Amino acid sequence: MARTVWPTTMSDLIRASSILIVGAGGHARVVADILLRAREASGSGEPLGYLDDEPNLAGQRMLGLPVLGAISEISEVDPDAALVAIGDNHRRAEIFNHLLELGQVIAAAIHPGAIVAPDVALGRGVMICAGAVVNTGAIVGDDVILNTGCTVDHHCRIGAHSHVAPGVHLGGNVNVGEGVLVGIGASVIPHRSLGDWAIVGAGAVVTRNFPAHVTVVGVPAKETGGQDGC
């Protein structure tokens, strides 16, 4: 197999048919792996590299892809498309909206090992990791992370900028608001709703509806009294 030569100069970047990953932390590496696996499966979508504001990362390579500079330099790179791969929902939403204001095309990353029903509606910039299952009638908003091995059952609605963590199970007809974090291993029974920017703790079992900006934990899940994750 021929060796892939990744572009490193600005002129190379401009010529490349490319997807730029915004962020270079742990989740960004997961997204890079998704794009690489998807390219192997379909032959399309070339991950170009990362942008990150951490100066110590500049010039490093992760999964063979270089960290090309700071996020503010995206207009200079001018990729064909970009994808915001940052785990924090608030920060990811901020950068996602900024990229839209700049007129950037937003890519998606869907692992070839994920199962997504053909009638599922997917927003811009969604990230669907290995082993995730998204069943018929589901609607997934912009910039959503469906992490490793999660299940989203039929006719769920997931609002923009939400993160469904690894091993989460959403029953049928669950409504997840904007910016919600459903923590690792949590479960939500069918026909329940989570308000915008709510947080569900790891391993919690949601058996009733919860409003916006609350944090809930436990089995069954109860509010902790904090807001916005505090």
Question: Is the pLDDT confidence value at 230 over 50?
Answer: no
Residue range 10-107, CATH number:
3.40.50.20
Query: What percent of the chain clears pLDDT 70, i.e. is strictly above it?
Result: 89
Assign 2 a pLDDT band (cuts: 50, 70, 90): very low
Question: Is the pLDDT confidence value at 85 over 50?
Answer: yes
Residue 167 is encoded by which pair of tokens?
């091993």
Give the DSSP per-residue string, the chain. -PPP----SHHHHHHS--EEEE--SHHHHHHHHHHHHHHHHHS---EEEEE-S-GGGTT-EETTEEEEE-GGGHHHH--SEEEE--S-HHHHHHHHHHHHHTTPPBP-EE-TT-EE-TT-EE-TT-EE-TT-EE-TT-EE-TT-EE-TT-EE-TT-EE-TT-EE-TT-EE-TT-EE-TT-EE-TT-EE-TT-EE-TT-EE-TT-EE-S-B-TT-EEETTTTEE-S-STT-
Question: What tens digit of pLDDT does each residue of 116-162 get?
Answer: 999 999 999 999 999 999 999 999 999 999 999 999 999 999 999 99
Question: Is the pLDDT confidence value at 78 over 80?
Answer: no
pLDDT given for residue 58 in this prediction: 86
Residue range 108-220, CATH number:
2.160.10.10
Question: What tens digit of pLDDT does each residue of 4-35 get?
Answer: 233 333 333 333 368 999 999 999 999 999 99
The residue extents of the domains of the chain are 10-107, 108-220
**Catalytic position from the list 27, 98, 154, 155:** 154
pLDDT given for residue 225 in this prediction: 65
State yes or no: is 213 an active-site residue: no
Same fold, 10-107 and 108-220: no
pLDDT given for residue 76 in this prediction: 82
pLDDT given for residue 228 in this prediction: 46
Q: Are 85 and 103 in contact (CB under 8 A)?
A: no
Q: In angstroms, rounded to a whole number, what is the distance separating the alpha carbons of residues 18 and 51?
A: 13
pTM for the full predicted model: 0.89
**Chain-wide mean pLDDT for the chain?**
89
Cα separations in angstroms, 97 against 45, 100, 111: 22, 5, 24
Closest CA to 38 of 104, 114, 106: 114
pLDDT given for residue 79 in this prediction: 83
Question: What tens digit of pLDDT does each residue of 44-65 get?
Answer: 778 899 999 999 998 899 999 9
Spell out the residues 6+ positions from residue 66 whose beta carbon is closer than 8 angstroms to its own.
6, 8, 49, 50, 59, 60
Least confident of 37-41, 182-186, 187-191: 37-41
